Structure 1
């Protein structure tokens, strides 16, 4: 069931899995993605491994607050907010949940938000897992093909959204694993029906582009950290994960051959196992 919380001056939609007595684990999704893009079965695996899992919609995505009045920004020059604001959203949601601190897992832009949360609110982060992310967009630039799908024009209707989703994940998905076309279409349809706001995605992208590089600040972290990345990632190439792990003292880097900018189902046991090993040791 989706619940709405008032936090950091906005409404945040979230869902939970597992026992409230489990280790608190906050999942932060990436650019334009919604909480449903953390697959139910993936969340259930983490819950079965002893976590109280919460996934949520970032601002300008899904059922959380959208900044419609801000319009569409000019990328690289203006932004309605920055990643630090999105990190404060996460901290505010933790306040509502009654979590003084949590294990934080972020994917792609969500990894950037998780990094910002650990930097700005270190007392709130028990462990940090940064997946297919980077300390800054200039560190790991997308390939030409990935950039074309990232910066392409938004789809005009539901059918076009589904077709665009297939095109996008064909490019940036995992080259070593067969694309689950049925899942891609199903999730794209669910996301469209929950809320379709391409301008909101552009505002999120603007926040990524105007936020400063975090490399130097990550060097000051003292938090158990796991960095997960795919060798075949075209959207955020492997150098982004390598730079993240190199910046954070003691961070472990886990690289998967054949993995792109997604989480292939066959890797879920190993990925959730690595996260659980980290949270269990903290």
Structure 2
């Protein structure tokens, strides 16, 4: 019998009790397919892994999981500026989501600052990781180029003014696109408005992830990752220029690099086909 969710339909959002908190999760596709867990970047809820992108992956035979980090979306929030958790807790959150959904080993895709989550998972919990993918991430080495000097530093918004908050986030997304011809301001504005409206406390979203310490793996570093690894990086990325992606590829044994032409520090819709095709190959046993 064909599963009613075998062609990419979402299973609906659910709040899972994980690691002592509530995490809002949503799944797409058939649970019998290889599981792909999408870990958004700092201050990003699961909405930033677009549902259409998740559906495309599910239609290609993947069971896709996206979730709201703590302090984003509908998941547990702490007071602004006072996150009561560590980086390691965010790693354990991923494992808790896997446990709750019955996923022993997942293909984990981590974005931006939370590439560090992938590092800790890959080094300290290798049995739970079938493969790793790093999107717009970095090794953090001191000799890598700094963010573009063109990046603006907008004034923080009045968080009681939802419209001002949306403008602030859209301005940041526009800057992080790095002049990409693919930046779709209308789509980003609509996404941001939804994100702000559904959040338990967007004030916490804006600041709390940047207030936690970056834990290091207990068992080594990037060179100790054994999971097959794909590095994905936009050639227009102004926050972490392309040499960051190249350094990450070079630091992980056997890693491959996919350069997304025309993309900044994001995954705009016109590059989805390249990204999805590469991720499907990467998460297929034998790489075929």
The two structures have a TM-score, normalised by structure 2, of 0.87
Residues of 1 paired with 2:280 and 2:61: CA distance?
8
1:175 paired residue among 158, 172, 179: 179
Shift of 1:137: 7.8
Instruction: Report what 1:244 is aligned to.
Output: 248
Instruction: Report what 2:193 is aligned to.
Output: 189
Instruction: Report what 2:85 is aligned to.
Output: 81
SS in 1 for 2:224: coil
User: Does structure 2 retain, via aligned residues, the 8 Å contact 1:17–1:43?
Assistant: yes
Gaps of 5+ in 2: 1-11
Q: Deviations over 1:95-136 (max 9, x none)?
A: 101111111111112322122211221110001000001123
Alignment of 1:153 onto 2:156: yes
2:55 paired residue among 44, 58, 61: 44
Residues of 1 paired with 2:193 and 2:238: CA distance?
24
Q: Deviations over 1:238-277 (max 9, x none)?
A: 2321222111100001112321011111110110100000
1:21 paired residue among 32, 37, 43: 32
Residues of 2 paired with 1:213 and 1:46: CA distance?
30
SS in 2 for 1:268: helix
Structure 1 segments of 4+ aligned residues over 4 angstroms from their partners: 137-140, 212-216
Instruction: Report what 1:206 is aligned to.
Output: 211
Q: Deviations over 1:21-56 (max 9, x none)?
A: 111110010111111111111001100111000000
1:54 paired residue among 51, 65, 68: 65
1:72 paired residue among 81, 106, 109: 81
- Between 1:91-100 and 1:239-248, the stretch displaced more is 239-248
Cα pair distance change 1:178/1:224, threshold 3 Å: closer
2:224 paired residue among 179, 199, 220: 220
Q: Deviations over 1:194-248 (max 9, x none)?
A: 11423343221122x5434999511011110000001111122223212221111
- Count of residue correspondences: 272
Residues of 2 paired with 1:215 and 1:250: CA distance?
19
Cα pair distance change 1:174/1:143, threshold 3 Å: closer
Residues of 2 paired with 1:204 and 1:84: CA distance?
12
Gaps of 5+ in 1: 74-78
Instruction: Report what 2:9 is aligned to.
Output: none
The two structures have a TM-score, normalised by structure 1, of 0.89
User: Does structure 2 retain, via aligned residues, the 8 Å contact 1:34–1:56?
Assistant: yes
Instruction: Report what 1:162 is aligned to.
Output: 166
SS in 2 for 1:33: coil
1:263 paired residue among 267, 274, 278: 267
Cα pair distance change 1:13/1:100, threshold 3 Å: same
Instruction: Report what 1:32 is aligned to.
Output: 43
Instruction: Report what 1:97 is aligned to.
Output: 101
Residues of 2 paired with 1:182 and 1:18: CA distance?
28
SS in 1 for 2:273: helix
Residues of 2 paired with 1:82 and 1:143: CA distance?
29
User: Does structure 2 retain, via aligned residues, the 8 Å contact 1:142–1:236?
Assistant: yes
- CA-based RMSD: 2.2
